[in-house]
Amino acid sequence: MSMVIDYRQRLLEETSDLSPLEMEKIYQAVVFIKEKFLSADETRYYTPSWIEAEREATAAHARGGLPRFHSVREMAEYIEAGVDEAAG
């Protein structure tokens, strides 16, 4: 049996005791997320930085320069190790 969650109702319940200023902040965050990440078109894929990153990834893949991982944990450890090296 599948359970349906009414997220509108949950959002109303979660925000029922917020001040008008806090509600404005929540509203602005929702609008930002909707515009930037939930757009019906794919315009974010046509920015110069996205196109360049995609070219770099495609070239690395063609060279065989991308590591393979057996799990998400393994991938996370690889990324975290690179971040630690860059910071150090």
* 29/48 same-domain check: no
Domain match, 59 and 76 both: yes
The yes-or-no verdict on residue 58 having pLDDT over 80 is yes
| Number of neighbouring beta carbons within 10 Å of residue 15 | 12
Does residue 49 sit in the same domain as residue 31? no
Among residues 84, 52, 79, the alpha carbon closest in space to that of 66 is found at 79
pLDDT per residue as tens digits for the range 10-42:
889 999 999 999 999 999 998 888 877 776 677
Would the pTM count as exceeding 0.75? no
Claim to verify: residue 33 and residue 49 sit in the same structural domain? no
Position 86 pLDDT exceeds 60 = no
In 3D space, the residue among 78, 49, 80, 77 whose CA is nearest the CA of residue 66 turns out to be: 78
What's residue 78's pLDDT? Answer: 92
